[in-house]
Amino acid sequence: MPSAASTGSPACAISTACTDVSLFLSIVQRDLRLALRRRIDWLLPLAFFAVAVSLFPLGVGPERNTLRTIAPGVMWVCALLAAMLSVNQLYATDFTDGSLDQMLLAADSAVVVAAAKALAHWLSTGLPLVIAAPLFGALFGLSMAGLVALVLALLLGTPAVTLLGGLGAALTLGLRNGGVLLILLVLPLAVPTLIFGSAAVVAAESGQSAQAHFSLLGALLIFSALVALPATSAALRIAVE
């Protein structure tokens, strides 16, 4: 006759999964509501991106071929730096007011908290950059193929940057001047995403296939999710102890 523990284990697993999904959605909804109230959190990266991209034509001149040539690198560098502006606050506020402790206590795995916080952060800061990028790309004279490649590359690349930024934010949580250390940690890790993202746009602009670059960006995103999320969850557990 099967024991109660063995018969109950599937039900317990289903219940735990449902609890984690519910907690994941609750954290995402909560962070998005807070982002709407604290508009500076998502407006500042977008404003930085717009200003930084707009200054390059003034610095290099209005020559159309030159702008089209530098556009992929400029757009990606500005997007990467803009994403770094707000990632330092990803866990800081919740760590200060004790909300992070409650989230980690409620979650069966801290990976759920890390994934939910990363998704909410990307939706509030990364997605606006993706939406705004085609407008500025058109100002630089990018073709339709280049604009499509830019959007697809940012859709694959910016979530990876957010995941890496979340890892850096967790590792520097509670440290004095942690923002500087975070940038030093994250920027070198984000360089491959920057290279393949800009290369995809260059390939599309020259009439070549950007499929290989998109595949590499997708691989980087999957690798970042598999490595950064568990590492972030471990760092969060250590930070709150």
Q: Of 143, 144, 179, 185, nearest to 161 (Cα)?
A: 185
C-alpha separations of 121 from 43, 68, 125, 152 in Å: 12, 31, 6, 19
The pLDDT tens digits for 161-220 are: 999 999 999 988 877 777 778 888 888 999 999 999 999 999 999 889 999 999 999 999
The pLDDT tens digits for 62-121 are: 788 888 889 899 999 999 988 888 888 888 888 888 888 888 887 777 899 999 999 999
CA distance 35 to 22: 20
Residue 103 class from Cβ within 10 Å (0-12 exposed, 13-18 middle, 19+ buried)? Answer: buried
Question: pTM value?
Answer: 0.87
Residue 118 class from Cβ within 10 Å (0-12 exposed, 13-18 middle, 19+ buried)? Answer: buried
Break the chain into its structural domains and give their ranges. Answer: 9-240
